[in-house]
Amino acid sequence: MKKILLSLIYGIILALVGSALAEYQSTINLLPASAQPNAKQILKPVRELTICSQNLHRYGDAGSKGAKRKKQREYLTGRFVEAECDLVALQEVIGKTIRQSQSILDELVKNLNQRSGRRFVALTGPSNDESIRNAWLVDENKTKPIAMLSLKQDLLPKLQKNMPPAYYSRGPLLLRIEVPIVNGSKKLALINFHLKSKANSWKDPFKSQFEHLRLQMAAGLYNSASQITKSEPQTMVILAGDRNTTQKSPSHIVLSGKRPISDFSSSGYCRITNQAESTCLAQPPGLKQNSTKDRPLFMGAIQSQFTKEINSGDLGSYRFRGRYELIDEIYLPSDSLTPKQVKSGFAGKIGEGSDHLLVWTRLRLN
């Protein structure tokens, strides 16, 4: 009895400390002095903005040096140029410290600036992973970075009440920017994420290829995006990154806002299959439907444009056992953009620079 009581007290203290630390961390502006807004800098109005997402496939790893590293760098920056990226959400940035990661990113940016004739800056932050983190590449001549915050210490929503506290496996980075448009400016809040992979899934006690954990992360991301959307109606919220699971997964469904995480709890009527996909039973009589009326919804831009090809396995950002899967995505607010304002696509070849294709979305801002 004493051990149970101590365990409960410890859990409560851990949750309180974690919550306080998350609140503190989420208020720290991680932008370096060199990337802080310059009041004297006047940017030309932008009509279109291209947002990209790329898993770097461990670029800069100790085993990648000399000609091999140069070749990978050329492939990667070639993708950024081909897609005409203005902002790139990067995942799998190598480095045990931020300084190490920044050095690798600066190497990548130097090559990108030379090839594109543009001026990009690399921004990275803390991670819960000891060797990889997320980062942003930002074209300073088209956008004005305002702030960058880390969500690494955010406590994740629980799938079941008795589950232990959980955190993101890496560290989502929330980047706030201002984009000059005709007759004003547009504020954007962009969240770069990298969910838990399916590697070593035999260790998953739920036998769901870690979809239970990804689902909690997806719910956390959605809550952050939803909160900004509701409190700042004039700010466009976008999520970009490596989902590490397909469009059929509970993670995608929750991240898009179509269902709350509670639908997948033991008292809900949706379940996670062994293939990390979603299956929902017919709604039992008398069970109150979770309405999406007051919930902000986000659409997967890549999935929306290539629905048929992706669902058939003929197209995707990653190839597994000879079949394409869409595990990288860019989520846009469903109610603030029309199909004519959005164009999306892929860049690169799998195996050339990365085992993931680059995904991109071009937005018409006015």
Question: Over the stretch 181-223, which tens digit does the pLDDT of each residue have?
Answer: 998 999 999 999 999 999 998 898 889 999 999 999 999 999 9
d(CA 51, CA 359): 9
Q: Give the pLDDT score at 16.
A: 43
Which helix (H) or strand (E) segment is 348 a member of?
none
Q: How much of the chain, in percent, has pLDDT values that exceed 90? A: 75
Q: How confident is the model at residue 337 (pLDDT cuts 50, 70, 90)?
A: confident
Token pair of 295 as six digits: 């919930």
Cα Rg of the chain, angstroms: 20
CATH number of 2-26+46-364: 3.60.10.10
Q: Give the pLDDT score at 362.
A: 98
Q: How confident is the model at residue 24 (pLDDT cuts 50, 70, 90)?
A: very low
CA distances from 34 to 120, 178, 365 (A): 12, 17, 27
DSSP E strand boundaries for the chain: 48-55, 87-94, 120-124, 132-139, 144-150, 173-181, 184-194, 235-242, 270-272, 278-280, 298-300, 318-320, 323-325, 328-333, 342-347, 358-364
Q: What is the DSSP string of 201-222?
A: GGG-TTSSTTHHHHHHHHHHHH
pLDDT tens digit sequence for 283-306: 655 555 555 668 999 999 999 999
Q: Give the pLDDT score at 19.
A: 39
Q: Which of 82, 114, 111, 53 minimizes the C-alpha distance to 240? A: 53
pLDDT over threshold 90, residue 8: no
d(CA 108, CA 73): 7
d(CA 307, CA 309): 6
pLDDT tens digit sequence for 50-78: 999 999 999 988 777 788 999 999 999 99
List, in order, residues 6 or more apart from 345 with CB less than 8 Å away: 83, 302, 305, 359, 360
Q: What is the mean pLDDT of residues 162-188?
A: 95
Token pair of 185 as six digits: 């400016």
pLDDT over threshold 90, residue 132: yes
Q: Give the pLDDT score at 65.
A: 78
Minimum mean pLDDT range among 121-130, 289-298, 331-340: 289-298
Q: How confident is the model at residue 20 (pLDDT cuts 50, 70, 90)?
A: very low
Mean pLDDT of the chain: 90
b/e for 294-318, b at 16 or more Cβ within 10 A?
ebbebbbbbbbebeeebeeeebbbb
Q: Give the pLDDT score at 28.
A: 82
d(CA 329, CA 301): 7
Q: How confident is the model at residue 39 (pLDDT cuts 50, 70, 90)?
A: low
d(CA 269, CA 200): 28
